[in-house]
Structure 1
Amino acid sequence: MMASASPEFIALCQSQVLLLTQALGATSTVVYLAEPSVNPVSPTLVPLVAYPDTAATWTSLNEILATMAGPDGALQADPQAGASNLLGTSEANPRSLDSEPLPAGQSPPKKPGDDVSPQADDTLDDTPLVLPIAHEGAILGVIVSTRPASPWGQAEYQQAERVANTLAIACVMDRRGQWLQRQFSQQQLTQANQSATFHDLLHQFRNPLTALQTFGKLMLKRMGTEDPNQTIAESIVRESRRLQDLAEHFDEAVAQGDEAFHPPGAMPPVAGLLPSRPEDLTFPSGNAGTEADDLSHPLGRTLAVVPGSITDVIVPLVQSAMALLPDRDLELVQDIPPDLPDVWLDPQAMREVMSNLLDNAIKYALPRSLIWVTAGVVQTINGELYQGIAVGDTGAGIPLEDQPHIFERHYRGVQADSDIPGTGLGLAIVQDLVQAMGGHIEVISPVQIDHWVNPVPAELTQGPGTLFMVWLRTV
């Protein structure tokens, strides 16, 4: 069944049909639209708009449509010729477009083909003009206009053809608009379901997270200061707090989406589709920051970039990472001076940066590999001093062809074919956060190990290696 036409398209058809009927001196004009069909050559035609309302509709229009289209359903070069044959307007018939006027009072002769006619008997002697409503070769419908026995001139045909072209474009826009509306409604429904699921998962996530944090605090209270497991218990408490912070930001991001959410099927009024101010028609440059850009950060909020200590942020994370190494047969060395100058950073964002880099180094390192963290590297860029933090490993390295894409979202390069799970988001998140803090990050592979670690531990697995260098502005 044909998708219903919008009121706006029907109104346009009515106005165009009225103008065409009056301009051509026709007795009636009817617009037919084609319903979708398995056979594109012969879809069903349904009358949409008629003027006057009592205008007769033609039978056998499917045969007419078949003469307009080729075997593949595309519009022929001269669709009017085929349609005229079925409606009795062939060259042998005095009602053709180019025929001479009949003497006054003389009616056109009947012929056997005249059984294809309107349903109303009083229009049998009307001269039909049939035009396809087509766009890019696809027939969307036809216009049939009739008037008492009188030939149609070429100028009249061209005027009617312009109306048909206008209706064809409007019909395509109307159908695309309906398709977009269905997609929009489906997307809103999906968004509503996802929002409900996110809220449910967040609610269930908080309960075990709170319990985990409580267990970690209890362990710390029962341990002595000399207990070798104290670092592990501190890491449990610290990481549970990190998860709690992330859950809160996630909750805020979902809440913001809910505030901007409209019920499925809701469409803004026409006034809401138009710009209220001239400046609304302009687009911001790619470098201009906006509130929407701030909310797109991985933390789901605007970063609070303040002077801070690199050491205070990364040393606890390195200690937590070292607790994971024995089971992986890895070794980690660090060179983090305690008196480094402050840099511009967001503490939580910097923790996420270092956590991702350390997690990647541990996850992708080969057995008996070395991981190192070095701070205190300095460089000057455009007269501004930057502090560098390096996270490196002696693993398999990153192929040169992968390095230009390594910070793209969901890009994993050669690791996509490995058994190591991942989403390809970690380094993209790292780069977003570093740039939001006013810094930049670079990757180096292969790495000259002895330039960073001296002496190099014996009996380690030494591959090409990878080094990530994070640069932050010095205060």
Structure 2
Amino acid sequence: MSYSFISASAEFTALCQSQLELLSRGVGAVWSAVYLTEELVENKQGRLVPLAIYPRNLMQQGQELPPVSLTNNLQQLTTQVQLSSLPLLQGTIVEKQIINPEKKLDSEVKKQLVLPLIYDTRVMGVLVTQKDEDWQPQELEQIEKIAQTLALARFLDHRYQWYQKQLAKQESLRQIEQDRLDDLLHQIRNPLTALRTFSKLLIKRLLPEDRNQSVAKSILRESDRLQELLEQFETETQQKEEENKALTLSTTSVRLTTDLPQSSHFLLPGNISELEAVSILEVLKILLISLQEIAAEQEIELIAELPQNLPLVIANAKALREVLNNLIDNALKYTPTGGKVVIYIIEKQEQPEQSWLGIAISDSGYGIPFEEQPKIFERHYRGIQAQSDIPGSGLGLAIAKDLVEKMGGKIEIISPNQLGKNTSLPGTTMIVWLVVASEN
């Protein structure tokens, strides 16, 4: 007889059967059975449902153990355990038979022993056993140990199945999100290919001295950047999929790992650990071509005060480009029309053998309140700007800080910066500090 509401694994059922057999051989039990408590439903009486019996031929002889209602004793015990956390009893003799009372038992059957399966203040079932002779103290002790074993096993089995269900739900949700992301990436590819093609055509058709030539090259360069990001993201996604499959939990074993998830670096082409001597001027030269156009469109004055004899810094060129692009874009975004953004260099020496070079981006914009400054590098945090109509995801500064620190640098914020004359626009200065490369 099977019951759909019984949630017990084959492994737990086999354990119960082996323990019941041990009772027969070890203490001479005539028969034994394990009942599990049905999941309680509001306004319904709880029931005990049979899971295993020994000898098994009792079932074959038509002596099926029916579901039964919790006896008053067990209902009272459940309440007591939940309220006062009573320890497992050393054996409870229940006079009322738990099997079908309409069936007449053999006259030699004298007593029946019922032990609740209790773990963590929860009654999860009962162990029922009986023999034709009086129970001896050492036998009661052995039966109690078996009941404790079954209680712990039932608790672990129930918890394991709960985790399996949660994992299945999470996997289902993850797959839905993955499908949505795959659809988005697929739809991005076609317009990106078209954008790259159009920019190449513009470069061919424009004369070398045409000022739009540099704009067309910038479009192609940014298109290539997007293409590179997509390819690296897809590669990383495939690797994560393979790792997830390798760590999938089977129904018979659980594979545990203490490895923490590694942060994603698909936003940065190449390996972030590949640091070298980098020219800040070369990185900014490429960025300023497009950023000057953006500033002009927004009627913002973008000023770059960059000396030509700057020393090289220890960095990753692509990472530094990502950082400066985010910071300058932020400065333009939060500076109103008629304002200005100034890029300049600061040099300092903290130790005789180590010099630092700071790339400062100052704006005459809205500024950042002092109480919000410790939080602005948190992912998705936008502070009071979230209440404005300025679009943003709150990721730019978080990404910039993460990349700067991975390059051995640090990022500093100053607000207000006194760049503008308007007191209602205190302005903000972001400084990226990087170690100066040794001349040796």
TM-score range, shorter chain: 0.7 to 0.9
Q: 1:436 aligns with which of 406, 416, 440?
A: 406
Root-mean-square deviation over aligned CA pairs: 3.7
Q: 1:63 aligns with which of 70, 77, 95?
A: 70
Q: 2:289 aligns with which of 313, 319, 339?
A: 319
Matched, 1:467 2:429: yes
> Percent identity over the alignment?
38
Deviation (angstroms), 1:199: 3.9
Matched residue, 2:117: 133
Matched residue, 2:10: 7
CA contact (8 A) 2:233 2:266 kept: no
Deviation (angstroms), 1:357: 1.0
Matched residue, 1:422: 392
Q: 1:178 aligns with which of 147, 161, 164?
A: 161
Once the two structures are superposed, what CA deviation does each residue of 1:198-242 show, in whole Å capped at 9, x if it has no partner? 444333322211211222233333334554544433332222222
Deviation (angstroms), 1:353: 0.8
Matched residue, 1:356: 326
- The 1:241/1:3 distance shift into structure 2, 3 A limit, reads farther
Deviation (angstroms), 1:420: 3.1
CA contact (8 A) 2:335 2:365 kept: yes
- The 1:357/1:268 distance shift into structure 2, 3 A limit, reads farther
CA contact (8 A) 2:47 2:70 kept: no
TM-score normalised by the chain length of structure 1: 0.77
1:180 & 1:241 partners in 2: Cα distance? Answer: 44
SS at match of 1:344: strand
5+ residue gaps in structure 1?
89-113, 275-280, 287-291, 450-455
2:123 & 2:345 partners in 1: Cα distance? Answer: 70
CA contact (8 A) 2:32 2:55 kept: yes
Q: 1:143 aligns with which of 127, 152, 162?
A: 127
Matched residue, 1:401: 371
Matched, 1:389 2:376: no
2:69 & 2:52 partners in 1: Cα distance? Answer: 18
CA contact (8 A) 1:253 1:300 kept: no
SS at match of 1:333: strand
Deviation (angstroms), 1:310: 0.8
Amino acid at match of 1:33: L
Matches within 5 A, 1:18-417: 18-39=21-42, 42-55=45-58, 61-64=68-71, 65-70=74-79, 77=86, 87=96, 117=101, 119=103, 121-122=105-106, 125-148=109-132, 150=134, 152=135, 156-225=139-208, 227-262=210-245, 267=250, 270=253, 273=255, 293=262, 296=265, 298-299=267-268, 302-303=271-272, 304-380=274-350, 383-417=353-387
Amino acid at match of 1:273: R
2:237 & 2:107 partners in 1: Cα distance? Answer: 64
CA contact (8 A) 2:269 2:318 kept: no
SS at match of 1:260: helix
- The 1:334/1:78 distance shift into structure 2, 3 A limit, reads closer
Deviation (angstroms), 1:314: 1.4
1:363 & 1:48 partners in 2: Cα distance? Answer: 67
Once the two structures are superposed, what CA deviation does each residue of 1:444-472 show, in whole Å capped at 9, x if it has no partner? 222243xxxxxx6xx76762322221122
How many pairs align? Answer: 427
Deviation (angstroms), 1:295: 5.0
